[in-house]
Amino acid sequence: DAKTTQPPSMDCAEGRAANLPCNHSTISGNEYVYWYRQIHSQGPQYIIHGLKNNETNEMASLIITEDRKSSTLILPHATLRDTAVYYCIYQTGANNLFFGTGTRLTVIP
């Protein structure tokens, strides 16, 4: 299974940037890093993905280290609706996603 390591929980003040780290030291050169989040009782929601370069979309930014062994998801201005479990994943040649236990982000008013 494709192994990633994330802190189990983090807090962030509303309006501040949330920086969620992930270690993926066994990732290989052609495997994408994906970030999903899951709000209680809903299915996982896609946030962003990347291979080598940093990426930004309307939801978040993804910073990938040069050696690709770790990445950071940045929510620039966290809101209460960003409270969720965030999963860092990479897809192996097995063509499916292996989820760990993720980081539970709590945005505090």
Interface residues with another protein (CB under 8 A)?
30, 32, 34, 36, 41-46, 49, 51, 85, 87, 91, 94-102
Q: Which is nearer to another protein, 18 or 48 (CB)?
A: 48
Q: Which is nearer to another protein, 53 or 95 (CB)?
A: 95
The sign of the dihedral angle between the CA atoms of 57, 74, 65, 28 is: negative
Q: Which is nearer to another protein, 93 or 109 (CB)?
A: 93
Closest CA to 60 of 49, 45, 74, 46: 74
Q: How far is the CB of 84 from another protein (least distance, A)?
A: 13
d(CA 99, CA 87): 7
